[in-house]
Amino acid sequence: MTLKRAFILLVLGLFVYLGLYTWNERTGCLDTLAENTGLEVIGIILSPVDWLATGVSDTWNRYVDLVNVREERDVLAERLENATAVINTLQEDKRELKRLRELMSFSPPPNWTPIGARVIGVRVGPQAALNSIILDKGFSNGALPGTPAVTKQGVVGQVLRSSPHFSTVLLVNDPSCRIAVVSQDTRFPGIISGQGAGKPLTVYYVPPNAQVKIGEYLVTSGLDGLFPKGVPVAWVESAQPSDTSPFQAVTAWPLAPLNELEEVLLLQPAAGRKENPFNRFSDELAFPPPETPEIFKQPVLPLNAVPSPDRSISSKPPMDIQPSLPRTVN
């Protein structure tokens, strides 16, 4: 092959590539094709491997590795006692809230249905440059792009891409993931974003006069139109005035154990979404307004802290305070 011919081929190839790239940017056809074939095939391959690994791990944990079980049982029994006491206290608050809502003619928020999904892979392949996990639920199971993914502890991320039976979730600790949050106690708003695995999250646009408490929980505000309101996301680690910005520099750690995820819940409005899964843009626009899901309407249970700890002076997170959730519904 002469040099001239090689050059012509290279230029032609470049034009073909740019043509394909631009066409895909406009239509998303190649993305859809890759999702429906590549992601589906890899999901089919990884599912039995994950099932086998989980089976072996469960067998070991349940029947072989029984060390510390007695000690753990004692701790759990103590926590259960504390939790029962707190539930009794909060039941009264719940009834009061219901009465007040009825009094103010608030229509109760529609339920969000949790769909259980198993994690079958973490950042598979060289193109998985963003922090992500692969789930065994796809758009035929309701895992459309934009669907919130949570655990009992808090937000995990949101569905980025989906094939018929598998989907990829962008984790909350990725810099490309942004979620509108509000602090649980002092109610300051912000946008939370990741800085990468093993690093704290950053909360942007926190007003300089906001009284940020260390250890305070950040929950979704629902203003981003994707997440329901009130889902725990992170706890505040530090807050200080920024030298370069009019806003405060706030860092927080995610509540969900992002490195140890095995199952997650995908939150769907109870009415269901009937959009065309091939059209992600109309899909996002058609997402109904955020509401508090039923599973997060339960009272927050401080499991070993009665009364609740003073989080304004604590430098460590009250990790035992978690929202209660029913068991995963599939």
Partner 1 sequence: MQLTQNIAWWVAFFLLGILAQSVLSGIDFLLIGVIIALQERRPVQLTWVILVAILLQEGVGTLPFGSALLFYTFAVIVFYGGRALFEAENFIFIFLVSSLMGLLHFVFTFAIADLHNLQINLTRLGVESVIQALMIPPLWGLAHFLRGKEKQDENRA
Q: 89-122: buried (b, 16+ CB within 10 Å) or exposed (e) per residue? A: ebeeeeeeeeeeeeeeeeeebbbbbbbbbbbbbe
Binding test (CB under 8 A) with partner 1, winner from 90, 97, 128, 214: 128
Q: Applying CB under 8 A, which part among 24-32, 97-105, 146-154, 291-299 lies near partner 1?
A: 24-32
Torsion of CA 44, 46, 52, 55, to 10 degrees: -100
**Is residue 168 a contact point for partner 1 (CB under 8 A)?**
yes
**Is residue 117 a contact point for partner 1 (CB under 8 A)?**
no
**Is residue 308 a contact point for partner 1 (CB under 8 A)?**
no
Name residues contacting partner 1, limited to 188-247 (CB under 8 A).
196-197
Alpha carbon distance 30, 9 (integer Å): 23
Name residues contacting partner 1, limited to 29-48 (CB under 8 A).
30-31, 33-42, 45-46
Query: What Cα–Cα distance (Å) separates residue 126 from each residue in 43, 129, 130?
Result: 16, 7, 10
**Which residues pair with residue 217 across a beta bridge?**
235
Residue type, 307: P
**Residue whose CB is less far from partner 1, 73 or 199:** 199
Q: How far is the CB of 306 from partner 1 (least distance, A)?
A: 41
Contact 287, 225 (CB under 8 A): yes
Binding test (CB under 8 A) with partner 1, winner from 114, 121, 215, 302: 121
**Is residue 52 a contact point for partner 1 (CB under 8 A)?**
no
Residues that bind partner 1 (CB under 8 A): 10, 13, 17, 20-21, 24-25, 30-31, 33-42, 45-46, 49, 121-130, 132, 134, 160-161, 163, 168, 170, 175-176, 196-197
